[in-house]
Amino acid sequence: MKLLFLACLSPKTGNCTTAERIRAHVESAGHTCVLRDASEFKSSAEVAKLVTQKPPFDGALAIHLYKAGRLLLDVPVPFGVVFGGTDINEDVKVEHKLVVMKQVLLKARFAVAFTAKMKQMAYVVLRSPSSKIYVQPQGIRTEATEKFSWGEFLKSSGLSGARAEQHRVFLLVCGLRRVKDPLYLAEVFTEWHREDPLNVLVIIGPEIDSALTEEVEAVAQRRAGVFLAQGRSQRELHAVVRRCFAVVNSSISEGMSAAILEAMHLEVPVVARDIPGNAAVVQHEVTGLLYSSPQEFVCQSQRLLSDGELRERLVRTAKLYVEQQHSVERERETYHRLVQSLQ
């Protein structure tokens, strides 16, 4: 089959990585999968025209029911959709988006949710038949580049001097957009850094919201202990993660954070904001630590600093969890089966 695949493809983001991985799964079954950025299209009519051009497409896929799935409403071919965190956590609060997402689900042959809780929310809020929604967690595989200098990374992030490599880097991995709330911990981190100058927060990720990026840059320039690093390729990012002290998440909402899961797989502890999407993958004091306020973040992080046994247990249990529950092979099998239903 020849399939059109629509997704939000901002470079070096989790959405882009997930889309590339799913495309690889589809193509490994012998299909042709054409991945396009949903932002290229202004209407579903444009997509319908593309789908019918010769040689025509046989089916379609989309990640995010509203951002991409709405563009498939007029296509004359069967399609499937994958829920994004924004669908369930944010877009359902907007009436016209909710109406559109219900229409998308009604027409879709299947929908994929990353967690059972996401499936349940979709059933309750979008009134979709439960049998149409399949639960498939993200598959996680990490590969850190060997051509990486930790010292050069620290220097490029603004950390220099004789003690640069002694810093305990808490790495906040996120595309710079409001829902990721990258400045949530900035003030408390500056206070903590003044108490212990070795503790630093490095925010790393691609620019998505230019206005927010300017805010983050300004804060990093004036606040001690807070730094901003440019987004990296996935292999470079994995090398950075492997060397940091802990990976931090401060998002307002998440579907399923690949950055958290990749840190777990790379045997780096995770300190994540206690929101439903994070709590679905981070079991407090078992696979990571959760916090509900900036002050609690510092308390939980101090535990990591002082309790080596806790740190080792979290790292060990988290890696085992990812290997058991986030298998790339199982994810591939699921998409092979679902794509067959589009024939």
Summarize the confidence of residues 232-236 as an average pLDDT: 91
**What pLDDT is stored for residue 129 in this prediction?**
77
Nearest to 114 by CA among 319, 249, 301, 277: 277
Q: Is the model's pLDDT at 158 over the cut of 80?
A: yes
**H helical segments located in 35-94:** 44-52, 85-89
> 63: which strand partners?
82
Summarize the confidence of residues 299-315 as an average pLDDT: 97
pTM of the model: 0.88
> Is 131 exposed, middle or buried (CB count within 10 Å of its CB: 0-12, 13-18, 19+)?
exposed
pLDDT digits (tens, 9 = 90+) for 312-334: 999 999 999 999 999 999 999 99
pLDDT digits (tens, 9 = 90+) for 286-297: 999 999 999 999
> 171: which strand partners?
202, 247
**What pLDDT is stored for residue 101 in this prediction?**
93
| Axis crossing angle, helix 258-265 with helix 234-243, rounded to the nearest 10 | 60
pLDDT digits (tens, 9 = 90+) for 162-189: 788 889 999 999 999 999 999 999 999 9
Summarize the confidence of residues 190-219 as an average pLDDT: 95
Structural domains in the chain? 2-139+327-340 (3.40.50.2000), 150-325 (3.40.50.2000)
Q: From CA 16, how far away is CA 35, in angstroms rounded?
A: 10
> Concatenated DSSP letters for 189-234?
HHHHHHH-TTEEEEEEE-BSSHHHHHHHHHHHHHSTTEEEEE---H
Nearest to 180 by CA among 130, 124, 231, 134: 231
**What pLDDT is stored for residue 45 in this prediction?**
95
> How many CA atoms lie less than 13 Å away from 213 in the CB half-sphere?
13
Residue 176 phi, psi dihedral angles, 5° rounding: -80, 90
Is the pLDDT higher at 265 or at 16? Answer: 265
**Using 50, 70 and 90 to split pLDDT, how confident is the model at 204?**
very high
pLDDT digits (tens, 9 = 90+) for 96-155: 999 999 999 999 999 999 988 889 888 888 887 778 999 999 999 999 888 899 999 999
Are 35 and 16 in contact by the 8 Å Cβ rule? The answer is no
pLDDT digits (tens, 9 = 90+) for 41-92: 999 999 999 999 989 999 999 999 999 999 999 999 999 999 988 888 888 8
SS3 273: strand
**What pLDDT is stored for residue 15 in this prediction?**
81
Q: From CA 218, how far away is CA 182, in angstroms rounded?
A: 13
Summarize the confidence of residues 297-317 as an average pLDDT: 97
Summarize the confidence of residues 268-280 as an average pLDDT: 95
